[in-house]
Amino acid sequence: MKYETVIGIEVHAELNTQSKIFCGCPNAFGAVPNTHICPICSGQPGALPKLNEAVVECAVRLGLALSCKIAKKCNFDRKNYFYPDLPKAYQISQLYFPICTDGFLEIQTTNTPKRIGIREIHIEEDAGKLKLASLGRATQADLNRAGVPLLEIVTQPDFESGEEVIAFIERLREIMLYLDICDCKMQEGSLRADINLSLKQKDGELGTRTETKNLNSLKAVLRAVQYETARQAEILAKGGMVTQQTRRWDDEKAVSHPMRSKENAQDYRYFPEPDLPPLYISDGQIKKLSKSLPEFAHHKRRRFTQELGISPSAAEIICKSKNIAELFEAVAEGSGNSVEAANLITGDILRLIGEKGLDPEKICLDAAKLTSLIDMVTSGKINRGVYKEAVEAVFLHDADPTAYITQKGLFAVCDDALIRAAVTEAISKNPQAAADYTAGKEKAFACLMGQAMKHLSGKADPAAVRKMLVEVLKENV
């Protein structure tokens, strides 16, 4: 029997605000355990939460980017459960009145774009982390992450495949990076996705769904969707029933295991958070925030291909990062040569970023320096080899291109007399090659070219050398 896969996802994004959501502790990853804590985020008796306004701004901006309705008034609720990483034994979240609802995001996995509905975005706080101690059997709690602000983005069950889910997460990631609200590192857990999946027969009723958690990479998401689809299909094929449950993905073994089922599901005893008054968002605030939205990747891609004439594949790569897209635009504008600028970015720059393991959002390059290098190479003042070397020097050491090239004596030899001398010398020292060429052996030309370039220490424009070589060979006939 053939089934349709029905998937909805919940994405948790840790916001990159300076401080935590309800206190002034720094919001930073990787600090010494329990050094970024205070009475509020460690759940001390008598401490009270105070909402960080920056979190509200992040939520509204993401809501606007995803075409959501922004609530004029929303509330916080308590989700109660016991766990050692949850110091208050409740998480402040938004159940009844989330800040953003009813949005969508377009993805493209086939020729036709597809809209994925966003049910809601709500604000909540993260919990701490538990670590197994190296000695003994004790488990230790690190509360540095407790109170880190999170946005939970809940989609409609609009996905039909793992590829669609991945496309969605990639687009969402791109939007959050452009908004600069989340660093979106799945491995570090700053972006986490849970998958709700069920199967239904064509035109049939929706089947029982399961939720899969602990997906730390896009690859894991894809594999988990495939695994769960197959698992449920097998159960149904045997005439069985899928149990409603939460499952935990084990990426090493590429399987998932049940964590808890509906029968022993937790009752979170949600109720309105009495320590925080309702949150009001004015039209003026929404207007102001909507003006602060950046031009997003899909707009940039369209503009770059249509107006700047670069290839769709180059635009795709360049616009993955806002920082890189902005660098490209500055270099394209400065040099007036967008194709050359695109080649530079997608070639050497992204290669270097990859080699050095840098974050494309964080790198800071001087567009004017790259522009001047493009000018030099296109006007033949330097050749491609020197160009590449100088680009690296700018990238690694922020070198001044003119000074660097001058110092190393790498400017191209433009003097026709010098080129002619080099070519002539190459011919006279390799008479056999010259004879072969004249006899119609094209291959011999490369040898003469190589020799001539060698005499010029590689600094001449090869096109100019080639032209001169042809000319001199003709004269010699």
Q: How far apart are CA 8 and CA 233, in angstroms?
A: 18
- Shortest distance in whole angstroms from residue 26 CB to other proteins: 18
Host H or E run for residue 372: helix 367-378
The 8-class DSSP code of residue 347 comes to: I
Q: Which is nearer to other proteins, 269 or 429 (CB)?
A: 269
Q: Which is nearer to other proteins, 55 or 426 (CB)?
A: 55
- Shortest distance in whole angstroms from residue 40 CB to other proteins: 8
Reduced to 3 states, what is the DSSP secondary structure of residue 290? helix
The count of other CB atoms within 10 Å of the CB of residue 59 is 28
Q: With the CA atoms of 13, 160, 209 and 98 taken in that order, what torsion angle do they form, in degrees rounded to the nearest 10?
A: 40
Q: How many helices (H) and strands (E) does the chain have?
A: 16, 16
Place of tokens 């020292």: 429
Q: Which is nearer to other proteins, 137 or 474 (CB)?
A: 137
- Shortest distance in whole angstroms from residue 140 CB to other proteins: 11
For residues 5 and 229, is the Cβ–Cβ distance under 8 A?
Answer: yes
Task: Report CA Rg, the chain.
Answer: 30
Q: Which is nearer to other proteins, 45 or 284 (CB)?
A: 45
- Shortest distance in whole angstroms from residue 321 CB to other proteins: 37
Q: Which is nearer to other proteins, 23 or 182 (CB)?
A: 23
Q: Which is nearer to other proteins, 84 or 240 (CB)?
A: 84
Reduced to 3 states, what is the DSSP secondary structure of residue 70? strand
Q: Count of residues for the chain?
A: 477
Q: Which is nearer to other proteins, 51 or 418 (CB)?
A: 51
Can you give the binding site for other proteins, defined by CB under 8 A?
39, 42-51, 78, 80, 82, 84, 87-90, 141, 267, 269-271, 274-277
Q: With the CA atoms of 405, 410, 411 and 414 taken in that order, what torsion angle do they form, in degrees rounded to the nearest 10?
A: 180
Q: Which is nearer to other proteins, 39 or 336 (CB)?
A: 39
CA distances (Å), origin 411, targets 349, 401, 404, 475: 22, 11, 10, 28
Q: Whose CA is closest to 66, among 11, 15, 121, 17?
A: 121
- Shortest distance in whole angstroms from residue 285 CB to other proteins: 18
For residues 384 and 377, is the Cβ–Cβ distance under 8 A?
Answer: yes
Is the backbone of residue 147 left (phi > 0), alpha (psi -120 to 50) or beta? left
Q: Whose CA is closest to 247, among 206, 197, 199, 189?
A: 197
Q: How far apart are CA 163 and CA 335, in angstroms?
A: 38
- Shortest distance in whole angstroms from residue 79 CB to other proteins: 10
Residues 6+ apart with CB under 8 A from 427: 433, 434, 448, 472, 473, 476
- Shortest distance in whole angstroms from residue 248 CB to other proteins: 18
- Shortest distance in whole angstroms from residue 280 CB to other proteins: 13
- Shortest distance in whole angstroms from residue 368 CB to other proteins: 45
For residues 319 and 304, is the Cβ–Cβ distance under 8 A?
Answer: yes
Q: Which is nearer to other proteins, 130 or 368 (CB)?
A: 130
- Shortest distance in whole angstroms from residue 78 CB to other proteins: 5
- Shortest distance in whole angstroms from residue 17 CB to other proteins: 17
Q: How far apart are CA 157 and CA 416, in angstroms?
A: 69
The count of other CB atoms within 10 Å of the CB of residue 357 is 6
Q: Which is nearer to other proteins, 47 or 233 (CB)?
A: 47
Q: Which is nearer to other proteins, 145 or 320 (CB)?
A: 145
Q: Which is nearer to other proteins, 276 or 447 (CB)?
A: 276
Q: Whose CA is closest to 343, among 333, 334, 330, 332?
A: 332
Q: Whose CA is closest to 300, among 314, 313, 319?
A: 319
- Shortest distance in whole angstroms from residue 247 CB to other proteins: 22
